[in-house]
Chains A and B, each alone.
Chain A
Amino acid sequence: MVHIPPPLEIHDLTVSYDRKPVLYGVDVVVEAGSLVGVVGPNGAGKSTLIKTIMGIVQPNGGWVKIFGQPYRKAVTRVGYVPQRESVDWDFPVSVMDVVLMGRYGHAGLMRRVSKRDRRIASECLEKVNMQPFSDRQIGNLSGGQQQRVFLARALAQESDLYLMDEPFAGVDAATETAIVELLRDLKERGKTLIVVHHDLSSAREYFDKLMLLNMRLVAYGEMEETFTPDLLQKTYGGRLTILSDVAGQAAGRSEFEEEGNPKL
């Protein structure tokens, strides 16, 4: 049998800012077709992990392989949704301009985007229901709409591995549902998705696998194995009451199930 390299392989990855370690010795292999939620407390290094995978932040040690290759060689196979706050929304570009940026990796240096690129971008806008806004300046959109523009841009990248940094942050309920559907759809089509998520209570419902992160990789695996009071406690350290509530909820669920009651 031919060995197919996994979409993402991280080996002993260490990253620090100003000599303070943010990620420490992270080892993980993500299999093809996974829908992974990355959760952990603030400052756990979730965004840093994504940025290091993308080559935006340089690690102090360890390595990352995308489909068995260094990032530079797999550029067109990775789609990226950065945090919405990371850009200036007053920037003079239209919705279409932004989505077309998703095609830049395919177009090559100093080349113009083609008709085909425009068509793909337009289809991706359609998929997130933003087609009517394609000529709008991006500042004249709601938070949810802005997030959908970023998603359309990632879709336009036509990648196999998607990395998303907090796509659910500050979006309306309708957009949230739309994003979940989109993630499911991408997974159905065999894509691998790694999504940083801030809300533990919805994480169980949105993702198939969890990556629990707090400087160290606490756990990675199927939802049932990782969404346990024990591991959540270990990740969040029980510092925040709301999180201990959710941990309690997870504990409650297992008790109920043992008693044969239906799920919450």
Chain B
Amino acid sequence: MKVPRISPVFVLLVFFAFPALVHATRIGDVTDLDWSEQTFRFLSLRDAAVRNAVLGSVFMGVSCGLFGGYVVARRLALFGDTLSHAVLPGVALGFLWSRTKDPVAIFVGATVAGLLGTVVVAWIRKTTRVKEDSALGLVLSGFYAVGICILTVIQEMEFGNQSGIDKFLFGQAAALSSADVSLMGAVAIGTLMMVTLFNKELLVTSFDEGFARSVGIPVEFMRYVLLVGLTFAVVTSLQAVGVVLVSALLITPAATAYLLTDRMGTLLLLSALFGVAGGLLGSYGSFLGNNLPTGPFMVLACTSFFVVAFFCGPKHGLISKWLRRRNRVRQVSFENTMKAAYQVLEAGDFSKESVTVGALAARRRTSVAEARREADDLVKAGFASMLGSDDDGPRYSQDARLSLTPAGWERACQIVRNHRLWELYLTNEARYAADHVHEDAEKIEHVLGEKVVRHLERILKDPRRDPHGSVIPSLEDIERGAGLSTNPASATGYFRQN
């Protein structure tokens, strides 16, 4: 598998953004211990309850994260939501039947209810004209309402009060028993096995079901495996996150991963990772807050990951996009200033080695102050230097002189060459009129890469002059102008012909 294209810095950022956030939630809570002692208690795993909560969160993160990857990639988010709500009557009935919080009874009840819910959805869709989304909504709300009714009945019965059935609504990781955790572990291991064994079958079925069927993949079977596995993952996670928010554990970590990668394998891995991290942070937060419901904390943690990825993701993140655009603008401004400097030098037949800020301003059609600022930027970026020291001469007047460094000179020549090659290409090959090509070239000159330039040189047969009669700068021009270039190979950039 390919290494995910995510900078480690980013991952660290995501991880460290959190403790601070979670601490903030405990302000105002009444706790006997200092939060650092509480943290120590949590991390040392001395309490059985803490151990169960931590293990449970990890298992839940793995199974929900992995299944979530398929749910998001296959656009089944609404389906996952429906499934997670449809299990509630099963949970309640399982409880009613066993009269205690018996994990097996609840597991069986919830699984049956969840599967029944999906069958009803398919049935409605097949036999009526109601579309899938409405069918899902119908089943979600209908089953959920039934579940709430039975829960209310249970709570009014004599064993209902100390039952802990309410934990199923909003989740309580600390209330997990060892039996619960074993069940979660079994599902997590099963999920891992499923993903490794059926990796390619799940991939092709998710991407192109028709094609999968045509190459003999048992599509129905894969769908069944996915459905049953998903139900198991949801049902075992109920106690940790609660019915209300369990679908978030399916969707949010996977959606976060989807922002960060373009490969299914990486997506599954990241999704599981975010699921585990969210689960752990959630149970930690709940622990600090004297066992507040875990579900909201876990979902909050996962959602925060998403927000961070949304803004800072290296590829699709808003901030990254904005930074890239800003860099681009800066680059274009640099290049335009250097090009202006080149043109001023060219107008003087390259008799001088420096240009005045005033000449630059005239060329760029800006104020002297603006040209001065641009010149300073160039100096900062190492593309030019100001002649003379601060004390002698007119440092801030329009007579201040700017000289391009070898790097700046090289880039200036490249830009001018790009511009003129492109103009020539448009007039000669694309049959543009000579007075139509300048504006286009103004934009294109900044984006032409070496490959395109080489190609242009080839089809234009290494031209010397552009359509307006100006010389297209070449290797010799650079050496003549720079003079001080020590390493011609690097100084010439892509000007040199092999």
B residues in contact with A78, CB < 8 Å: 214
Not counting A80-B210, A101-B211, a sample of 7 additional A-B residue pairs whose C-beta atoms are within 8 angstroms of each other reads A51-B210, A54-B210, A54-B214, A76-B215, A91-B206, A110-B197, A112-B200
B258 within 8 A of A: yes
B210→A110 contact, CB < 8 A = no
B264→A92 contact, CB < 8 A = yes
A109→B263 contact, CB < 8 A = no
B residues in contact with A92, CB < 8 Å: 73, 258, 261-264, 266-267
A105→B207 contact, CB < 8 A = no
A264 within 8 A of B: no
CA distance A115 to B204 in the complex (A): 19
A82-90, A166-174, A249-257: which one contacts chain B? A82-90
Within 8 Å by CB of B216, from A101, A105, A137, lies: A105
Min C-beta distance of A110 to chain B, whole Å: 5
B residues in contact with A54, CB < 8 Å: 210, 213-214
A105→B213 contact, CB < 8 A = no
Q: Report A's interface with B, CB cutoff 8 A.
A: 51, 54-56, 72, 75-76, 78, 80, 82, 86-88, 91-94, 97-98, 101-102, 104-105, 107, 109-110, 112-113, 135, 137, 153, 157
Within 8 Å by CB of B204, from A51, A86, A94, A101, lies: A101
Min C-beta distance of A90 to chain B, whole Å: 9
B75 within 8 A of A: yes
Within 8 Å by CB of A86, from B203, B208, B267, lies: B208
CA distance A201 to B212 in the complex (A): 33
CA distance A82 to B204 in the complex (A): 13
B264→A93 contact, CB < 8 A = yes
B217 within 8 A of A: yes
B200→A107 contact, CB < 8 A = yes
The answer to whether A56 and B210 touch (CB under 8 A), given A92-B264, A101-B215, A107-B200, is yes
Chain B stretch 209-234: residues in CB contact (< 8 A) with chain A:
210-218
CA distance A19 to B124 in the complex (A): 18
Chain B stretch 371-420: residues in CB contact (< 8 A) with chain A:
none
CA distance A78 to B211 in the complex (A): 11
A residues in contact with B267, CB < 8 Å: 92
B residues in contact with A110, CB < 8 Å: 197-198, 201
CA distance A51 to B210 in the complex (A): 8
B208→A82 contact, CB < 8 A = yes
A72→B208 contact, CB < 8 A = no
Min C-beta distance of A193 to chain B, whole Å: 15
The answer to whether A113 and B210 touch (CB under 8 A), given A72-B216, A92-B73, A92-B264, is no
* Sample (20) of A-B pairs whose CB atoms are under 8 Å apart: A54-B214, A55-B213, A56-B210, A75-B215, A75-B216, A78-B214, A82-B208, A82-B210, A82-B211, A86-B210, A87-B208, A88-B207, A91-B73, A91-B264, A93-B203, A93-B207, A98-B207, A104-B201, A104-B212, A105-B215
B residues in contact with A113, CB < 8 Å: 200
A55→B214 contact, CB < 8 A = yes
CA distance A93 to B208 in the complex (A): 11
B residues in contact with A91, CB < 8 Å: 73, 206-207, 264
B residues in contact with A109, CB < 8 Å: 201, 217-218
A residues in contact with B199, CB < 8 Å: 112
CA distance A110 to B262 in the complex (A): 23
A residues in contact with B210, CB < 8 Å: 51, 54, 56, 80, 82, 86
B213→A97 contact, CB < 8 A = no
**Cβ-closest chain A residue relative to B75:** A88
Min C-beta distance of B260 to chain A, whole Å: 10
B207→A87 contact, CB < 8 A = yes
Within 8 Å by CB of A94, from B73, B200, B217, B263, lies: B263
B residues in contact with A72, CB < 8 Å: 216
CA distance A97 to B213 in the complex (A): 17
Min C-beta distance of B69 to chain A, whole Å: 9
Min C-beta distance of A14 to chain B, whole Å: 20
Min C-beta distance of B454 to chain A, whole Å: 16
Q: Which 10 A-B pairs have the closest CB atoms?
A: A105-B215, A137-B262, A75-B216, A80-B214, A54-B214, A101-B204, A87-B208, A92-B264, A56-B210, A91-B207
**Cβ-closest chain A residue relative to B204:** A101
**Cβ-closest chain A residue relative to B216:** A75
A residues in contact with B216, CB < 8 Å: 72, 75-76, 105
Min C-beta distance of A146 to chain B, whole Å: 12
CA distance A113 to B265 in the complex (A): 15
B residues in contact with A82, CB < 8 Å: 208, 210-211
A residues in contact with B204, CB < 8 Å: 101, 104
B residues in contact with A94, CB < 8 Å: 262-263
- Most chain B Cβ neighbours within 10 Å, of A91, A112, A113: A91
Min C-beta distance of B215 to chain A, whole Å: 3
Min C-beta distance of A227 to chain B, whole Å: 30
**Cβ-closest chain B residue relative to A113:** B200
B198→A97 contact, CB < 8 A = no
The answer to whether A101 and B208 touch (CB under 8 A), given A92-B262, A92-B264, A110-B201, is yes
CA distance A80 to B204 in the complex (A): 14
Min C-beta distance of B229 to chain A, whole Å: 16
**Cβ-closest chain B residue relative to A89:** B207
**Cβ-closest chain B residue relative to A100:** B200
B residues in contact with A55, CB < 8 Å: 213-214
**Cβ-closest chain B residue relative to A80:** B214
CA distance A38 to B481 in the complex (A): 67
**Cβ-closest chain B residue relative to A157:** B215
CA distance A86 to B218 in the complex (A): 19
CA distance A232 to B213 in the complex (A): 34
A residues in contact with B211, CB < 8 Å: 80, 82, 101, 153
CA distance A55 to B217 in the complex (A): 12
Chain B stretch 171-215: residues in CB contact (< 8 A) with chain A:
197-201, 203-204, 206-208, 210-215
A residues in contact with B201, CB < 8 Å: 104, 109-110
Min C-beta distance of A246 to chain B, whole Å: 30
- Most chain A Cβ neighbours within 10 Å, of B203, B204, B211, B263: B211
CA distance A56 to B209 in the complex (A): 9
**Cβ-closest chain B residue relative to A54:** B214
A residues in contact with B212, CB < 8 Å: 101, 104
CA distance A247 to B433 in the complex (A): 44
CA distance A107 to B214 in the complex (A): 14
Min C-beta distance of A70 to chain B, whole Å: 12
**Cβ-closest chain A residue relative to B201:** A109
